[in-house]
């Protein structure tokens, strides 16, 4: 990364920053705003999640992606893994 002074006019300095595209470069106030929004977005409220469950129930999809279905899928995957393990043991 390279930082250069591109222009000086009175009490203002204009900077040029050369950085790889994979590096985000922001002014401090922009960085702080992004950071604040990310923190707020990461806070999932239990009420929000329960409302989502209610909405899915009303839409008729809760059985397909709800807890019972997840448990059934987990049981199916566990049985498939046990069968694969047993097959490997008989081949060895």
pLDDT digits (tens, 9 = 90+) for 31-62: 999 999 988 888 766 666 777 777 777 766 54
- Sequence spans of domains, the chain: 2-81
| Average pLDDT for 59-80 | 66
Q: What is the pLDDT of residue 33?
A: 94
Q: What is the pLDDT of residue 62?
A: 45
Q: What is the pLDDT of residue 34?
A: 93
**CA–CA gap between residue 47 and residue 65 (Å, rounded):** 19
pTM of the model: 0.39
């Amino acid at each position: 990364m390279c930082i250069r002074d591109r222009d000086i006019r009175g009490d203002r300095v204009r900077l040029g920053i050369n950085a790889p595209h994979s590096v985000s470069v922001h002014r401090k106030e922009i960085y702080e705003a992004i950071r604040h929004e990310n923190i707020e977005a990461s806070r999932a409220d239990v009420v929000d999640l329960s409302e989502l469950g209610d909405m899915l129930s009303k839409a008729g999809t809760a059985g397909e992606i709800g807890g019972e279905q997840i448990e059934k899928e987990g049981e199916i995957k566990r049985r498939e893994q046990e069968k694969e393990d047993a097959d490997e043991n008989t081949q060895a």
